[in-house]
Structure 1
Amino acid sequence: MSATNASGISFAKYRTLKSFLTLYGVMSVLILALLGILYFQYAKSLMLSSHRLAMQLESESYVPKLKKWLEDDRNLSSFPKDLAYTTALYGYDQQPIVSRLDTAAIDFKENIYLSADHVYLIIPLSPYGMGEYYLIFETQDDGLWRQQALKITLIFGAVLFLMLSGVGYLLSRLILRPMNEAIALLDDFIKDTTHELNTPVSAILTNIESLETDALSPSAQKKIKRIEIASRTISTLYDDLTYLILNHDLSVENTTLDLSRLLHERLEYFRHRIEQKKLILDLTISPDVSLTIDLTKATRVIDNLLSNAIKYNHHGGTIKITLQPQMLCVEDNGIGIPDAMIERVFERYMRADKSVGGFGIGLNIVAMIAKEYNLNITIESEEKVGTKICVTWS
């Protein structure tokens, strides 16, 4: 799974907005298509009604000629012609007796209909006392009604589409408003919490580092180590929260960093946490691997990958770290990620296992930095087997 397109809270917003717009768009298209079809049928019906009236008026003068022909010789060569329409005479069996039409296939189920750009009117002659005969009038359809219907459909369709788009925009804002409000409340809470964390955590770490632990008993040393581990965990969380809230205001200084050296430094930073869970490190770190990136952001990427590998690993598990030119991979054999959640692990506030502490912002920060520096992130995970996250660059 690639996550280079992840940024901020846009994951959840994008998914919600995409679902709504897809449904709304499909419904809008269906409504516009239905209205277009209905209007087209109306225009067609109006055109046929116009032809029906004209043909019926014409038949009033033509039927007497036809009746005279039927009563006289019925000579096919003298079959009466109509100046306005092409005509045909069909028998009771609906077979042509005389026909000058362009087609012999007449649909007797319809009184008037359009077929192959021709309009056909079927007039039963029994009401005129002429037996079971059918008079057929045919005329060429000029298609002007179709062009006019298409023009009006496009104009009104465009207007309706713009109106529906405006309504969709307003509805999308209404739908996203509760999410935005909830996110704003959570961000405000994090800001307030962050301000309160910095001073006590810094004081704890400073005093621990100044202690001469060699003079303490093993039991006291163990307690001090636990305090230091907890403090460093809070300090890492504080750094993440600070970056998340202030990343737009932080000064950026991109330099060519020695990632090999930085990775060793961060491993030393997490040493007590690794020892506490008795984790085994499998390191393949090539020397002098470099990347042009801001130091703070590079630290956040490495720290979050290491922190997750520690946090979600089993007691006594293994962390495999590989650093090569253009690639950093961190792999653990911990609890893994359910398949249904792999697509969402880079969302802000998303945690694969809520029984483990944290705000669910670490991988979101990694994804944000990756997008900024065109880094590619891939994640492979299997539940109860482990997780492997790789960052590559060119």
Structure 2
Amino acid sequence: MIVILALIGTLYYQYEKTRMLSSHRLAMQLESESYVPVLKKWLTTDRDLASFPKDLAYKTALYGYDQKILVGNLKNNTLDFKESIALQAQHVHLIIPLSPYGLGEFYLIFETHDDQLWKTEAIQRALWIGSGLFTFLLLIGFILARLLLKPMNDAIALLDDFIKDTTHELNTPISAILTNLEALKEEDIPQIIQKKLNRIEIASRTISTLYNDLTYLILNHDVAVINEPLDIGELLTERLDYFRHHIKQKKIHCESTVSPNVLLTIDRTKMTRVIDNLLSNAIKYNKMGGTLKLTLDHETLCVQDSGIGIPADMIEQVFERYTRADKSVGGFGIGLHIVAMIAQEYTLDINIESEEKIGTKICIKWKTV
């Protein structure tokens, strides 16, 4: 029995270590998105070692193709290049190859100190859980515990790592595509090529919206929140322009009634997620040549489409995670769940009216001061 509990404790410890490394990896990868352009400028200009750009959040270093350090300020220079992220001597290292960024055979290293809090918490939890499992295993037996606990923990860890890795891998190529598309718009391009580029931009922005939703679900408790008076009309116009090619592709007629100077104290990123998901759904589920109506006054934002509508028995469920009213249309079913999460956080009221084959109207209402 002791051996079994020790084995379970070891597995749990490894799971917590993997989860800790996964969390550091996501944070470091997101930080690299802003650091790599700075490094690129340094590599393509002076390459003066004295002016090597240092990241504010992490210790940084640059290694050559021979895996030897060129410049940096790491506390621990012993690295295992076989692992993209590893814990060594109480330091976590993330190794980022720079060749995908077109910067040659270099390696960017991010380093952060491991405070070991996860280990203390893991041991405490393991001891607490172990005492409970001891009684449980006496009653149920080792076979049942193995069947129920280990696959569940493995599945959770696998899903967690998959989502975190996937969101990062989505961002880099999509950002590159959108950046190059913006550059191409400034050139004189034949109309037939322009149509193809528009279709590429639509697909890229769809994936970019999905990336933003997944990132919000993963990091919404870790990202700094800045609540400030926000001009909702201005933001609505900005996000409507973001979806302009989607709207044009489906030949949707857009009608807007927007009151000026509508201010709401809210975090800009979160309000962007609300508007983007409402617009995305209204476009996605709309019919070809349909209508999109936007109404904004000093206490209400409404988005109405002329699409497929939602069955009456599904209306109460559409705000649940992974719920989709129409599974024939792509998506994960997380958009309206995010809207509901943000609405609950800021005590916003959501009202939804829908009729099959007629359309859907969703209104977000807030209290004015």
Partner residue, 2:352? 379
2:207 to 222, 227, 234: 234
Q: Which runs of 5+ in 2 are unaligned?
A: 1-135, 137-144
Partner residue, 2:333? 360
Cα RMSD, aligned residues only: 2.4
Match of 1:378, SS state, is strand
Equivalent residues, number = 223
Q: Is the 8 A contact 1:318 1:333 kept in 2?
A: yes
- AA aligned to 1:374 is T
Q: In structure 2, how many angstroms separate the alpha carbons of the residues matched to 1:310 and 1:359?
A: 16
Partner residue, 1:305? 278
Q: Residues 279-307 of structure 1: CA distance to partner in whole angstroms, max 9, x if unpaired?
A: 01111111111100000001000000000
Paired residues for 1:23-34 under 5 Å = none
- AA aligned to 2:249 is Q
Partner residue, 2:291? 318
> For the pair shown, which has the larger CA radius of gyration, 1 or 2?
1
1:262 aligns with 2:262: no
Q: Residues 183-211 of structure 1: CA distance to partner in whole angstroms, max 9, x if unpaired?
A: 76544432221111010000000011011
Alpha-carbon spacing, 1:393–1:260, altered in 2? closer, same or farther (3 Å): same
Partner residue, 2:96? none
User: 1:272 Cα shift?
Assistant: 0.6
User: 1:221 Cα shift?
Assistant: 0.6
2:311 to 334, 338, 344: 338
TM-score when normalising by structure 2:
0.57
Match of 2:307, SS state, is coil
Alpha-carbon spacing, 1:181–1:326, altered in 2? closer, same or farther (3 Å): farther
- AA aligned to 2:360 is T
Match of 1:222, SS state, is helix
1:204 aligns with 2:177: yes
**Percent sequence identity over aligned pairs:** 71
Partner residue, 2:269? 296
TM-score when normalising by structure 1:
0.54
Q: In structure 1, how many angstroms separate the alpha carbons of the residues matched to 2:236 and 2:154?
A: 38
Partner residue, 1:223? 196
- AA aligned to 2:200 is I
Partner residue, 2:365? 392
Match of 2:287, SS state, is coil
Paired residues for 1:124-163 under 5 Å = none
Relative contact order higher in (CA < 8 Å, ≥ 6 apart): 1
Q: In structure 1, how many angstroms separate the alpha carbons of the residues matched to 2:185 and 2:311?
A: 45
Q: In structure 2, how many angstroms separate the alpha carbons of the residues matched to 1:351 and 1:276?
A: 23
Q: In structure 1, how many angstroms separate the alpha carbons of the residues matched to 2:295 and 2:269?
A: 21
- AA aligned to 1:302 is I
Alpha-carbon spacing, 1:290–1:186, altered in 2? closer, same or farther (3 Å): same
Partner residue, 2:74? none
Alpha-carbon spacing, 1:387–1:184, altered in 2? closer, same or farther (3 Å): farther
Match of 1:281, SS state, is strand
Paired residues for 1:37-48 under 5 Å = none
Q: In structure 1, how many angstroms separate the alpha carbons of the residues matched to 2:185 and 2:265?
A: 39
User: 1:368 Cα shift?
Assistant: 0.4
- AA aligned to 1:287 is P
Q: Which runs of 5+ in 1 are unaligned?
A: 1-166, 168-173
Match of 2:296, SS state, is strand
Q: In structure 2, how many angstroms separate the alpha carbons of the residues matched to 1:223 and 1:306?
A: 23
User: 1:332 Cα shift?
Assistant: 0.6
Match of 2:318, SS state, is coil
Alpha-carbon spacing, 1:382–1:180, altered in 2? closer, same or farther (3 Å): farther
Match of 1:267, SS state, is helix
Partner residue, 1:284? 257
Match of 1:211, SS state, is helix
Q: Is the 8 A contact 1:213 1:221 kept in 2?
A: no
Q: In structure 2, how many angstroms separate the alpha carbons of the residues matched to 1:345 and 1:184?
A: 27
